[in-house]
Chains A and B, each alone.
Chain A
Amino acid sequence: MVKSITIKLIILVGLINSYNAFSNVLEKDKDELEKEIKEYINHHVLDSYDFNLLSYTKDDGAKVYVGVPLPVLLWDKGLVVFSSSKLNHGKSIVQVGENYYKLYHNKIYKTDSSGTIFYDKNNHVANKSPVDFSMTKGVVSILLVSILMFVLFRNLAVSYKKNKMMASGIGRFFEPIVLYIRDEIAIPNIGQKKYKKYMSFLLTVFFFIWFCNIIGLTPLGINVTGNIAVTFCLALLTFIITTVSGTKDYWKHIFWMPGMPLPMKIIMAPIELLGVFIKPFTLMIRLYANISAGHIVMMTLISMIFIFRNLIGSSLSFMLAFFISIIEILVALLQAYIFTILSALYFGFAVEEHDH
């Protein structure tokens, strides 16, 4: 028992939360362990319905979760609200009125009273899934990051007035970054005349991605920017802003590239049009893939400590995991920077004025 708890603590320090894959390490053989780790990692990179910090298995085999249940909001011909603790990690069926809901593979499905899951020909779940607006772990993390950002930058803004045009406190750290985004990202890419309109978006997106990446590296193990829905939203906003602010010149360059022979113009138009959609798409995939891959690599390396279970292999894995975490801190900043500079670049293309 004591030994088991120590392992749990190491896992906590090593960024691992939620379902504990390694609880029965001593009893299980390696194949089973590896399978469990894989499942655990797959589970971790996804969103979850409750905010778990750690879990362990009692001596009698019952799993104990330490964390906060979050509200589940479903739209099923009317709003359905219940606590995520009722789902009991997929083990219980929740009855609301006449409807039954069950958590299956990280998704809530409508079932009958016994919780049967039907499959179609392609082995997909055939059960109906209600529209899900749950306050998941991801949503809570986004809210927390937003509140943190608001407090931080509101403080910075207020400190200017109090302190004779000088930032004070933690704002001193963030002020040069704000200036860097203005002077090195916005102005060179968008242009001196028009950059002001886009500053709010660029600054917000940069700090949002950065902070989310950083909290993803903490032992809380929240994977916000490694979630496709979040990156899709960010990329969609970039796409919308680019499209809305596109000048006549921009569209002309897409559909009828000036200064090119006619056949080239016909060939270029679909390519350029495709480029309009590919640009935000790559933004979305880049952020998602980098952050998810980072989390997966980190957790795999930490899991290796438990697979090797000897001094040399485990300590090597630990060292590797340690250095990868340091690299991940850099990647966290780099991905935020790349997203911001590419967004600025696309806005720059949209508002650019050519002189032919």
Chain B
Amino acid sequence: MEKLINEFSFGLFFWQLLIFVGLIFLLKKFAWKPILDAVNERETYIKEALSSAEKARKEMETLNKENQGIIKKARAEKEALLKEAQQTSSRIVDDAKRQAKEAADKIIRQAHETIEGEKRSAIIELKGKVADISVEMAEKILKSELDNKEKQSKFVQTLLKETNI
């Protein structure tokens, strides 16, 4: 301890205090303040740049999301349109089929009716003809038959038997 006190030199202490305090103030004014300011400025600049980049990224994201929504919507619309078109087309086809069927049915029905009519008229005509022929035949038969009295009566007898009145 004594050695320490002996070693202590007031002159050196005085100069050190003077120079060091002067150095602190000089450096504060001309070095530390500008350095720290510049570093701070740079840091805030970097921070701002980063945050703006982040912001841009977020914006991009929302934009992307929006785009995706739009695409989704468009796709749904397209699908709906396609569906509708399909429905329309199938309806048209169905309609056409039905109409065709109806038309065909009508034609068939008409054909049936015509056939029926023809048939009826043919039957009627045939009936007429048959009646005429039978009358003629009957006339002839009767002409030949009526010559014979016995036969006549026999015939009338058979006729009577045949015709159930």
Residues of A within 8 A of B (CB): 46-47, 73, 131-136, 138-139, 142-143, 146, 149-150, 153-154, 156-158, 160-161, 165-166, 175, 178-179, 182, 196, 199-201, 203-204, 208, 227-230, 232-234, 236-237, 288
Contact B14 A153 (CB under 8 A): no
Contact B4 A133 (CB under 8 A): no
Contact B9 A237 (CB under 8 A): no
By a CB distance below 8 angstroms, the chain B residues around A142 are 15-16, 19-20
Select B13's contact among A73, A156, A203, A229, beta carbons within 8 Å: A229
Contact A47 B12 (CB under 8 A): yes
Query: Knowing A165-B41, A178-B35 touch, does A229 contact B9 (C-beta < 8 A)?
Result: yes
Query: Knowing A165-B42, A178-B35 touch, does A132 contact B27 (C-beta < 8 A)?
Result: no
Contact B35 A156 (CB under 8 A): yes
Contact A47 B38 (CB under 8 A): no
Contact A153 B35 (CB under 8 A): yes
Give chain B nearest CB distance to A196 CB in angstroms.
Answer: 8
Contact A153 B32 (CB under 8 A): yes
Q: In the complex, how many residues of chain B place their beta carbon closer than 8 angstroms to a beta carbon of chain A?
A: 34
Q: How far is the CA of A143 from the CA of B17 in the complex (A)?
A: 12
Query: Knowing A153-B27, A165-B45 touch, does A136 contact B12 (C-beta < 8 A)?
Result: yes
Contact A230 B27 (CB under 8 A): no
**When each residue 33-64 of chain B gets 1 if its CB lies under 8 Å from chain A and 0 otherwise, what string results?**
11110110110010000000000000000000
Give chain B nearest CB distance to A167 CB in angstroms.
Answer: 8
A selection of 21 A-B contacts at a CB cut-off of 8 Å is A139-B15, A142-B16, A150-B30, A150-B31, A153-B35, A157-B30, A157-B34, A160-B34, A160-B35, A165-B38, A166-B42, A178-B36, A182-B36, A196-B36, A200-B33, A227-B7, A228-B8, A230-B12, A230-B16, A233-B16, A237-B17
In the complex, the number of residue pairs spanning A and B with C-beta atoms less than 8 Å apart equals 124
B21: Cβ under 8 A from any A Cβ: yes
Contact B23 A204 (CB under 8 A): yes
Contact A146 B19 (CB under 8 A): yes
By a CB distance below 8 angstroms, the chain A residues around B15 are 133, 135, 138-139, 142
By a CB distance below 8 angstroms, the chain B residues around A208 are 20, 23
Contact B11 A179 (CB under 8 A): no
Q: Please give me the residue from chain A that is nearest to B12 by CB atom.
A: A229
By a CB distance below 8 angstroms, the chain B residues around A134 are 11
Question: Which 3 residue pairs spanning A and B have beta carbons closest together?
Answer: A153-B31, A160-B38, A157-B34
By a CB distance below 8 angstroms, the chain A residues around B21 are 237
Q: How far is the CA of A201 from the CA of B20 in the complex (A)?
A: 10
Contact B27 A200 (CB under 8 A): yes
Contact B27 A150 (CB under 8 A): yes
Contact B12 A204 (CB under 8 A): no
Contact A150 B23 (CB under 8 A): yes
By a CB distance below 8 angstroms, the chain A residues around B19 are 139, 142-143, 146
Q: Please give me the residue from chain A that is nearest to B14 by CB atom.
A: A133
Contact B26 A47 (CB under 8 A): no
Q: How far is the CA of A135 from the CA of B9 in the complex (A)?
A: 12
Give chain B nearest CB distance to A109 CB in angstroms.
Answer: 13
By a CB distance below 8 angstroms, the chain B residues around A201 are 24
Q: Please give me the residue from chain A that is nearest to B4 by CB atom.
A: A228
By a CB distance below 8 angstroms, the chain A residues around B11 are 73, 131-134, 136, 139
By a CB distance below 8 angstroms, the chain A residues around B7 are 46, 227-229
By a CB distance below 8 angstroms, the chain B residues around A227 are 7, 9, 12
Q: Please give me the residue from chain A that is nearest to B20 by CB atom.
A: A233
By a CB distance below 8 angstroms, the chain B residues around A133 are 11, 14-15
Q: Which of B10, B31, B38 has the most CB of A within 10 A?
A: B31
Q: How far is the CA of A157 from the CA of B32 in the complex (A)?
A: 7
By a CB distance below 8 angstroms, the chain A residues around B33 are 200
Give chain B nearest CB distance to A150 CB in angstroms.
Answer: 6
Q: Which of A47, A139, A161, A182 has the most CB of B within 10 A?
A: A139
